[in-house]
Amino acid sequence: MKCIFCQIVSGEMSGDILLRNEHICAFRDIHPAAPKHVLIVPNKHIASTEELSNNDRDVAAELLLAVKEVSKLEGISETGYRIISNCGSHGRQEVKHLHIHVLGGAPMRNGLG
């Protein structure tokens, strides 16, 4: 059984997709934690930042560059946003397919823990 995000990337499961290219896909989080909450994922299944290899340089760069495109599309490039990528149990990663959360549309709470 494919993971949820692989299914969204392949189109087997519906997703509110904002952006897609050869390497990455961006779609809205199903349970938004902020007025604007987008997930950016590699099209290829990579479980987390721990699984990134030196062969994934293009994908890694595309993930970060897509943040800027998403912020423009969501109208939050001026006001700012927070990006988060949870990893493993201490990071409380729920979906084991690498993703960057882009959160904005209102001021974030202070603190990072």
Catalytic center residues: 99
Interaction between residue 30 and ligand 5GP (CB under 6 A): yes
- Out of 9, 15, 25, 38, the residue judged to bind ligand 5GP by CB under 6 A: 15
Residue 27 binds which of Zn ion, ligand 5GP, none (CB < 5-8 A, kind-dependent): ligand 5GP
β-partners of residue 46 are none
**What is the end-to-end Cα distance of the chain in Å, rounded?**
33
CB 27 within 8 A of CB 100: no
> Where do runs of H (alpha helix) occur along the chain?
4-10, 57-74
Residue 17 binds which of ligand 5GP, Zn ion, none (CB < 5-8 A, kind-dependent): none
| Measured distance CA(21)–CA(42) in Å, rounded | 10
- Contacting positions for ligand 5GP (CB under 6 A): 4, 15, 27, 29-31, 86, 92-95
- Contacting positions for Zn ion (CB under 5 A): 3, 5-6, 45, 97
